[in-house]
Amino acid sequence: MVKVGILGLGRYLPSKKLTNSDLEKMVDTSDEWIRTRTGIKERRIAALHEKTSDLATKAALSALRDAKISAEKIDLIVVATISPDSNFPSMACKVQKAIRAHKAAAFDVSAACSGYLFALTTAKQYIQTGLAKRALVIAAERISGLIDWKNRDTCVLFGDGAGACVLGPVKSGGILADFLQAFGAQGDLMQVIAPEARSPFHPAKAAYTQLPYVQMKGQELFKVAVNSMADAVEKVLKKAKIKKTQVDWIVPHQANDRIISAVANKLGVPKKKIFINIDKYGNMSAASIAVALYEAKKSKKIKKGDKVVLVTFGAGLVSAANLIKW
């Protein structure tokens, strides 16, 4: 079986920052309330002219530079997103055009905050089966466009950004194990729905004025998030026959610092082994874990030979984990 590993990492973050102080002027909240309940201090917000495909393209180019690989050598592009520019063409096809990866197959994956790991696992299979030699995996979200900025329960949580990696064959290490899971019966805990049905047979519905927004049941979601992430870590380590004490770093989805702390407690893992950057970016959905992995590596916390667990949960509900030997 071909060993598949990460050859390069990249990211892109919009320049505009939305701080907790800014939000104090928009909704009934406070910096202290947000920090103590979420761990977030600020988040990035895309400019009006920046589309999800723009964020994805810039992260992709960053990863290609890091891997020292040209776009012409990419055989597959997989983009994880729940906030595309349009339903079609896909963001992956837009990235393909933008970076001129003319021979690459391209498609999107929709698994909310778990999208990056679902895409990573999918691309890995293409390489292992010989359908591709090198793949570009991107997670990009312009989730600010799905937020009701008058709802303090959700608007304080999210931000925009993109992360990417180049996958390819490696001689040793690489992605040692994967775990994917879904809990569709609990999908109503977090969702984006359009309140108006659209039909050509009902002219009264011709004018659509209400946009779909993120809706979530925070308390119920918290419990599922903690349990599913802890379970995913246990399952992926069991598949790889690796003990928790052998893990050097856990890079989790950055949704809420309280969730991350609860997962650490449930696993019995010291929090110093968990990489956290939620204070700077908030929840960027699929892009959160991609950007966190980039920063963990570039800050030299992750070193050659380290065993790293990536773990996430997201709307759907879905959860995922990957174990990587760097």
Which amino acids are annotated catalytic? 113, 253, 283
Residues 37/43, Cβ–Cβ less than 8 Å: no
Q: Residue type at 36?
A: T
> Which runs of consecutive H residues, i.e. helices, occur in the chain?
20-24, 31-38, 52-67, 91-99, 115-128, 152-155, 218-240, 257-267, 278-281, 286-298
CB 100 within 8 A of CB 72: yes
* DSSP code at position 272: G
* Residue 116: C-alpha distances to residues 8, 81, 310 (Å): 15, 8, 10
Q: Which two tokens stand for residue 265?
A: 């407690």
CA 50: distance to chain centroid? 18
Separation CA 138–CA 57 (nearest Å): 9
Q: CA dist 122 to 238, 318, 324, Å?
A: 20, 15, 15
For residue 82, CA distances in Å to 57, 141, 152, 269 come to 16, 7, 21, 31
